Structure 1
């Protein structure tokens, strides 16, 4: 945190007030957010990747369980100045998660071991022997050989039933528009969030009013969110989970709508030039479907008046039933946030102390205490250790298991008559229980003089009922932990622009042909010695329409008989979408050598249809994957550079950082991602995130220009340097050649036309473990081919102002000819978009 300077403004900008400087220091820390989202102080672009991984939960005597929850997240944001007082901001957030999570709780004596490596599950729909206190009983014999009924500690041990989900991706986009006055600021924001089973849209406004020579600030905010749920019923649970308490249903899905209104009022006060204090009051009212459609509660019914002659009088036959949870349809939430920031001048450091109190009308009261120490180390480095403690009371309707001293109140069709239960709301979600949590972490930050900041952080979290303040938390069966790692960078566009405006203006004419390289072409030009470049590249590709054998359209009967390696196919692809996000970090140590690193983030989704699904109205079998892809490392060499002609070559390798062993989850709730016809094992080759092999990626590129015209050609390829990955296969080698031409429409805008020819080899080998075989995409022979495409593009470079030098490019690639290996979906279209900034 910089010392608050009361001197003159630097670089022609108005100096920051003490309030602004201290607030920015507070916002620099992850997890310490003001209630109203703050705009970036400068024009900037930022990217962050994070990885969340839960630990295994205690399953006691049941050893088999699936992998815990993991989440890959990508966050990109940008704030730009539209005018002197107007700023526009964008955010894109993408989360892909998979793994096992608890859906209900029950004593171990009421669980049965899962089959084929699956987790143990509730023996729902059957009867259990219990004593008068609902303890599970097991038959045994005493030393004299007499039949007895015992309740062991192991059988009474509470435990979670886990169910697994195949990968699912959530995408969210936000936009913000702000206006700044001398003593005030107003921001409007809105956005949408979408995933397979949950969609929401939201709008909001927040403002700030400065008083007392900007030493005091009042802030207020208001937001509205409208959400809808369309969740597939849990596949593994159908038949023994009762959905009768849920209102709206449609066949295999649970439907619901909810609304959330939120408001906040706060004040921030600079106490002196080294300290700041803020307080904020917030209120949220939620209404509608507030339950979790993937959480259930287990009911145990014991009729105290039952009559039987089989068991002793103190042994009862109880019926075990699970029901989808039913939370109240309204929730009012209040929170108080207090923050204190103290600059410690002798150490040039900042101490952040935070407290939050939360209470709702579900009887949950929670306290959060957190502290962080922001310590500059010199050379642009900063380290920030932080610690956080959280504690909450349980919701008044929460219970791990619901015991009823009565016979099951049955409906005419054998379900539960919920109107005759002594409870109207119920949930066994451990997040509504009483518990405490302790977390700690480290954040490292490095700021470079060229306006770039790199961040990397790690956090470890421990959740435990025994950690609840004052005691009385949930038992240890619900304890778990997780770790979170993140890395990212920010580019201060204003700092880069101030450094590069003059140089950019000087070189713009000489290098305008560089702006005419199509967005889908990489390694189109080289940078000068000492230059950096940061960039982002996006690619979207879609396959849909008819199925082709080679270049010939074929029908369902031909596919069923021939496309599945001697077996009869049961399903056929309906569509597939692929999204790739790539970061480009580039440095030129010399004029003839550029070095690059390009990490990728992938997400894909596919639907398979049963044959004749259109006439039968059968639902599609849908899959999704997402996460980190393979990482490219490249060196680009200048071979020739004249006034109108340039030639360079690139040698690269692709590191196998992407997951290539992603599996479908049979029988899990899948959050709507049903396994193909119930099949299990590795998901299709084309839905894996990486190759699993080290790959060699060479290319040779020529570019030329004269007056307003430009042209170029490139040939490149991918050579798999291993015969197979550890899953038993290797993707096919690939060769691609491009020829293009461009014309400068304006000084800052050009158009391109490109022809592309691609040859992709078939997959070598095949999965060495279980995988579906009932669709063409499950077979290695149905990959690769020969393809012709034509691309149409626009390139733009900002010629002046604060964003001078920012380069944007777009290209639409239209397939002209497909000649597939085996049986594959027709390619429909592809889109490339890129942003780059050199300085």
Structure 2
């Protein structure tokens, strides 16, 4: 996208943009933090810290001239984590993880509204035109005409709209790191990372240096980065038959089963140079320039250009009407792009108000013909007692690329067109058009005395052609608004340690929950409590579960013939799952109001994916009488993804019994239904495919009661424990018409200290889960065993092997990191299911 191109001058790139581009320099981030505090604190020291952030991005509907769209706009759920660690006096390490899950409708192309054919006001692809049409009409000035189907008369209609295409949820994951080495007057940073989607991979590395001189009042930053990206996109089965690929050469691969893949490689070399000057104790100024050279495949494999062909031999009829034929071509962008950026930033601390003002301007230019300007202002106002309020305003404007067109008209026959007579490069991607964007936002943060801060922010954007500088941008059809909200938890371990050392007695206190039932495996929760009133604990838990193999009926493997005959409860069975992955991220917040009561809050973030294959011997799909099922079976060729916020846990833990070496804890809690249970497969232009498979919804959709009883004991280097837990669904049905089965689990474990800081554990687990009750209400096309409620739940036996490490000294004392692999021993499933292949649990916790 174009706004990706200007990332170097955009300190907060739009949601969905690759975050590796356009990051603030380390000095920019430092000055932002320093100037939010009283005075100008340009300390080079970095405290060890970690943060977790959740964000949500949502677009509004496009302007379709009063016709309601059939599609939901794009929305994105984002999860980020960041950690900084001091390895030695001069060496520092930072890691960053980001995960985006997005879904909804986005423009595939642009065309006159009249191109929707002889169906005025009909809904098609969101009330927008076909991407292929044999009958489009123009007057002799090539103005689009719309034909009245009743009278046969024509009227001019030059209105342009987006042709929308919906996508099922997809997930992108990125991990990257930085390693810094600091001298007294300089620093060197190396970094690298990987960004992965199902159709796109990007690998990148960077090298940066910093030099301080003039008594550290002047700083020079330089950097160089390299990115190598590959695209392997499966063309949408719904649109592929209507897209011309003749101009795309060998980039399009045709597989034996009739699918089409688009392949491409891209390289990006980027460099920057910036100079920062401290003007006085309260202000500084920074100026920077950057250059990026990109080569290779830079087109979007899901964008097309509409071309209306008008045969030059055609003569207008008595009414002056020319008939054309509409074809869609994959967009063609240049394979070389040179980009230049320049930015200027001024930051001042206003002592009378104890506030900081940030002003910035950025300029972007490339050889695609795009010039862009960014203006922004930010005010950081401490409110006292650790509170800070930061309002922000930002304006962005860009020119259109020189090859951008809403659509093309070619005076040649559609049946015998010559691709060489089309422009060499063309795109109707609205992100290459001329437009402006105005946004305003606010961030509220609270810093607690023990080094923990909470932050919440929101920003609203208006995107419009007439907001462009000069007001000559694209028409109203490109206008839409969007908003972004986020929440973050940040932990500064050095601040926690300093606060503890300043407490009465002058000794840092790190609760040693590792010696109080805290050596349970990573997969066990509610095994320990905070023992001192006023203590806090923060933690993070990750779980990965994998299913694959031959389908089971009870405990017996079955083949395709059995699944076809009985796997779908007497209904036709067309496909079977081959693999399913689940990732769960959980943030754990614990507070001890007393020594016998702990309170816990546990929000979750989920994502899942499933692949399927056709069943051998499956009956043919009745395309004529059951087009919905036919479309769903065809859609099963694509991997299915879901992701976003899961259910939120609220728990109270009670200390029932405690003696040296023994304790008993009861936990009562509920799970609030914050996870979506109405996730749907993407709508095609043929069918609304309705709900996705039951097991890929993000929550239960019901209020759930979750009690547990946990015993732990220890003696010397040994510790052990046992737990009984359950889940009772408190509603008979959720809003989508079903309820997950109740669950009971029992587990026992033993642990041994291998070293003072390292222990190993073995655990046994039994789980019983009931089948799903009820069924989806609404449009739903079951095509395989995973779509029938009776094929969920069962009885499961597992054995787990774990390791747990605790930091015993320094600023990070009390941090605990645990891992456990849970290996299935025996599955006895309800109905027909994919077997489990194992699960990994990882947890981190820190109490203070």
When the two structures are superposed, what TM-score results if normalisation uses the length of structure 1?
A: 0.91
Give 3-state SS (helix, strand or coil) of 2:144's partner. Answer: coil
Shifted more, 682-691 versus 58-67: the winner is 58-67
Q: Could you tell me which residue of structure 2 aligns to residue 7 of structure 1?
A: none
Q: Could you tell me which residue of structure 2 aligns to residue 705 of structure 1?
A: 714
* Alignment map for 1:641-656 (pairs within 5 Å): 641-656=658-673
Q: Could you tell me which residue of structure 2 aligns to residue 45 of structure 1?
A: 50
CA contact (8 A) 2:71 2:683 kept: no
CA contact (8 A) 1:551 1:819 kept: yes
Identify the match of residue 593 of structure 2 among 589, 593, 599: 589
Give 3-state SS (helix, strand or coil) of 2:707's partner. Answer: strand
Per-residue CA deviations over 1:234-278 (Å, capped at 9, x if unaligned) read 322222221222231112111100000000011000001111100
Q: Could you tell me which residue of structure 1 aligns to residue 496 of structure 2?
A: 496
CA contact (8 A) 1:409 1:420 kept: no
Shifted more, 104-113 versus 90-99: the winner is 104-113
Per-residue CA deviations over 1:438-457 (Å, capped at 9, x if unaligned) read 00000001000010111100
CA distance in 2, matches of 1:61, 1:205: 52
Per-residue CA deviations over 1:4-46 (Å, capped at 9, x if unaligned) read xxxxxxxxxxxxxxx999862425899xxxxxxx999211110
* Cα distance, 1:350 vs structure 2: 0.4
Q: Could you tell me which residue of structure 1 aligns to residue 86 of structure 2?
A: 81
* Alignment map for 1:469-508 (pairs within 5 Å): 469-499=469-499, 508=512
* Cα distance, 1:103 vs structure 2: 1.0
* Cα distance, 1:679 vs structure 2: 8.2
Distance change (3 Å), C-alpha of 1:420 and 1:507: closer
Q: Could you tell me which residue of structure 1 aligns to residue 802 of structure 2?
A: 793
CA distance in 2, matches of 1:117, 1:361: 34
Identify the match of residue 245 of structure 1 among 244, 247, 266: 247
1:271 aligns with 2:279: yes
Per-residue CA deviations over 1:381-403 (Å, capped at 9, x if unaligned) read 00000000011111101111112
Identify the match of residue 519 of structure 2 among 502, 505, 516: 516
Distance change (3 Å), C-alpha of 1:543 and 1:216: same
Q: Could you tell me which residue of structure 1 aligns to residue 345 of structure 2?
A: 339
* Alignment map for 1:716-755 (pairs within 5 Å): 716-755=725-764
Distance change (3 Å), C-alpha of 1:611 and 1:139: closer
CA distance in 1, matches of 2:82, 2:130: 44
CA contact (8 A) 2:170 2:642 kept: yes
1:323 aligns with 2:329: yes
Gaps of 5+ in 1: 1-18, 31-37, 669-674
CA contact (8 A) 1:235 1:667 kept: no
* Alignment map for 1:91-240 (pairs within 5 Å): 91-112=96-117, 119-122=127-130, 124-139=132-147, 149-152=153-156, 155-240=157-242
CA distance in 2, matches of 1:507, 1:367: 52
CA distance in 2, matches of 1:64, 1:158: 15
CA contact (8 A) 1:301 1:318 kept: yes
Give 3-state SS (helix, strand or coil) of 1:565's partner. Answer: coil
CA distance in 2, matches of 1:621, 1:547: 20
Q: Could you tell me which residue of structure 1 aligns to residue 429 of structure 2?
A: 429
Distance change (3 Å), C-alpha of 1:223 and 1:800: same
Give 3-state SS (helix, strand or coil) of 1:110's partner. Answer: helix
CA contact (8 A) 2:663 2:712 kept: yes
CA distance in 2, matches of 1:629, 1:365: 42
Give 3-state SS (helix, strand or coil) of 2:352's partner. Answer: helix
* Cα distance, 1:65 vs structure 2: 2.2
CA distance in 2, matches of 1:370, 1:433: 22
Q: Could you tell me which residue of structure 1 aligns to residue 779 of structure 2?
A: 770
CA distance in 1, matches of 2:89, 2:358: 32
CA distance in 2, matches of 1:475, 1:202: 37
CA contact (8 A) 1:373 1:384 kept: yes
Q: Could you tell me which residue of structure 1 aligns to residue 443 of structure 2?
A: 443
Distance change (3 Å), C-alpha of 1:103 and 1:27: farther
Q: Could you tell me which residue of structure 2 aligns to residue 629 of structure 1?
A: 646
Distance change (3 Å), C-alpha of 1:360 and 1:133: same
CA distance in 2, matches of 1:116, 1:62: 11
CA distance in 1, matches of 2:724, 2:276: 59
* Cα distance, 1:120 vs structure 2: 3.2
Distance change (3 Å), C-alpha of 1:120 and 1:565: farther
CA distance in 1, matches of 2:132, 2:722: 65
* Cα distance, 1:176 vs structure 2: 1.1
CA distance in 2, matches of 1:29, 1:765: 57
1:639 aligns with 2:662: no
Give 3-state SS (helix, strand or coil) of 1:156's partner. Answer: coil
Give 3-state SS (helix, strand or coil) of 1:516's partner. Answer: coil
Give 3-state SS (helix, strand or coil) of 1:48's partner. Answer: strand
CA contact (8 A) 1:65 1:162 kept: no
* Cα distance, 1:313 vs structure 2: 6.5
* Cα distance, 1:586 vs structure 2: 0.7
CA distance in 2, matches of 1:625, 1:23: 33
Distance change (3 Å), C-alpha of 1:346 and 1:28: closer
CA distance in 1, matches of 2:578, 2:381: 54
Q: Could you tell me which residue of structure 1 aligns to residue 419 of structure 2?
A: 418
CA distance in 1, matches of 2:511, 2:263: 59
Identify the match of residue 382 of structure 2 among 362, 367, 376: 376
Q: Could you tell me which residue of structure 2 aligns to residue 65 of structure 1?
A: 70
CA contact (8 A) 2:286 2:345 kept: yes
CA contact (8 A) 1:187 1:206 kept: yes
Q: Could you tell me which residue of structure 2 aligns to residue 34 of structure 1?
A: none
Q: Could you tell me which residue of structure 2 aligns to residue 348 of structure 1?
A: 354
When the two structures are superposed, what TM-score results if normalisation uses the length of structure 2?
A: 0.90
Q: Could you tell me which residue of structure 1 aligns to residue 631 of structure 2?
A: none
CA distance in 1, matches of 2:598, 2:153: 77
Q: Could you tell me which residue of structure 1 aligns to residue 814 of structure 2?
A: 805
CA distance in 2, matches of 1:166, 1:370: 35
Give 3-state SS (helix, strand or coil) of 1:809's partner. Answer: strand
CA distance in 2, matches of 1:207, 1:180: 10
Shifted more, 162-171 versus 294-303: the winner is 294-303
CA contact (8 A) 1:62 1:120 kept: no
Give 3-state SS (helix, strand or coil) of 1:546's partner. Answer: coil
* Cα distance, 1:516 vs structure 2: 1.7
Q: Could you tell me which residue of structure 1 aligns to residue 576 of structure 2?
A: 572
CA contact (8 A) 1:137 1:149 kept: no
CA distance in 1, matches of 2:388, 2:514: 38
* Alignment map for 1:588-607 (pairs within 5 Å): 588-607=592-611
CA distance in 2, matches of 1:838, 1:191: 31
CA distance in 2, matches of 1:214, 1:396: 45
Give 3-state SS (helix, strand or coil) of 2:835's partner. Answer: strand
* Cα distance, 1:133 vs structure 2: 2.0
Distance change (3 Å), C-alpha of 1:820 and 1:116: farther
CA distance in 1, matches of 2:771, 2:305: 49
CA distance in 1, matches of 2:454, 2:420: 58
* Cα distance, 1:119 vs structure 2: 4.4
CA distance in 2, matches of 1:22, 1:555: 60
Give 3-state SS (helix, strand or coil) of 1:624's partner. Answer: strand
Q: Could you tell me which residue of structure 1 aligns to residue 823 of structure 2?
A: 814
